[in-house]
Structure 1
Amino acid sequence: MIVERVDDREVSRLCAAALDLPEDAGEAEALVRRLGAPPAGRVTVRFAERDDAGRLAGAVFGSISDRDPHLGHVELLVVRPDRRRGGIGRRLLEAAERGLAERGARRVRIGGNPPCYAWPGIDVRYTPAVCLAQRAGYEHTDTAWNMTADLERAGQAKQEDEERLDRAGVKVLRADAAAPEWVRGIWGDGWAWEVRQAQGCWVATRDGEILGFAAYGANRPSWFGPMGTAPAAEGLGVGRVLLRRCLADQYADGHRTAQIGWAGPVAFYSKTVGARLERIFWIYTKTL
Structure 2
Amino acid sequence: MPDMLVKLYDLPDGREALAALENQGIRIVRALTADKGRLAEFVGKHFTENWRSECECAFGRLPSFAFIAVRNKEIVGFALYDAVVRNFFGPTGVAPECRGLGIGKALLLETLRAMHEEGYAYAVIGWVEEAIGFYAKTVGATVIPDSFPGAYRNLVALN
- Give the TM-score of the pair, scaled to structure 2: 0.81
Shift in Å at residue 282 of structure 1?
5.4
Shift in Å at residue 188 of structure 1?
3.0
Shift in Å at residue 168 of structure 1?
0.5
Structure with higher helix content: 2
- State how many pairs are aligned: 140
Shift in Å at residue 197 of structure 1?
1.2
Question: What's 2:2 paired with?
Answer: 145
CA contact (8 A) 1:157 1:245 kept: no
For residues 78-114 of structure 1, what are the alpha-carbon distances to aligned partners after superposition, in whole Å with 9 as ceiling and x for unaligned? xxxxxxxxxxxxxxxxxxxxxxxxxxxxxxxxxxxxx
Shift in Å at residue 233 of structure 1?
1.3
Structure with higher strand content: 1
Q: Which amino acid aligns with 1:248?
A: R
Question: What's 1:163 paired with?
Answer: 19
For residues 32-52 of structure 1, what are the alpha-carbon distances to aligned partners after superposition, in whole Å with 9 as ceiling and x for unaligned? xxxxxxxxxxxxxxxxxxxxx
CA contact (8 A) 1:157 1:241 kept: no
Q: Does 1:193 align with 2:57?
A: no
Counterparts of 1:245 and 1:145 in 2: how far apart (Å)?
23
For residues 121-177 of structure 1, what are the alpha-carbon distances to aligned partners after superposition, in whole Å with 9 as ceiling and x for unaligned? xxxxxxxxxxxxxxxxxxxxxxx31100100022x5333211210111111111221
The structure-2 alpha-carbon separation of the partners of 1:145 and 1:167, relative to structure 1 and needing over 3 Å to count, comes to: same
Counterparts of 1:159 and 1:184 in 2: how far apart (Å)?
30
CA contact (8 A) 2:81 2:111 kept: yes
Identity of matched residues, %:
34
CA contact (8 A) 2:2 2:146 kept: yes
Match of 1:202 among 60, 63, 67: 67
Question: What's 1:233 paired with?
Answer: 98
Match of 1:217 among 82, 85, 96: 82
Mapping of residues 48-67 of structure 1, within 5 Å: none
Counterparts of 2:124 and 2:118 in 1: how far apart (Å)?
14
For residues 225-270 of structure 1, what are the alpha-carbon distances to aligned partners after superposition, in whole Å with 9 as ceiling and x for unaligned? 0000111212210001101111111111111000001112100001
Counterparts of 1:191 and 1:157 in 2: how far apart (Å)?
28
3-state DSSP of counterpart to 1:244: helix
Question: What's 1:245 paired with?
Answer: 110
CA contact (8 A) 2:6 2:124 kept: yes
Please list every run of at least 4 consecutive aligned residues from structure 1 whose deviation after the TM superposition is greater than 4 angstroms: none
Say which structure, 1 or 2, has more relative contact order (CA 8 Å, 6+ apart). 2
Question: What's 1:88 paired with?
Answer: none
3-state DSSP of counterpart to 1:163: helix
3-state DSSP of counterpart to 1:280: coil
Counterparts of 2:69 and 2:84 in 1: how far apart (Å)?
22
Question: What's 2:40 paired with?
Answer: 180
Counterparts of 1:221 and 1:281 in 2: how far apart (Å)?
16
Q: Unpaired runs of 5+ in structure 1? A: 1-143
Counterparts of 1:229 and 1:222 in 2: how far apart (Å)?
22
The structure-2 alpha-carbon separation of the partners of 1:217 and 1:168, relative to structure 1 and needing over 3 Å to count, comes to: same
RMSD between aligned residues? 1.7
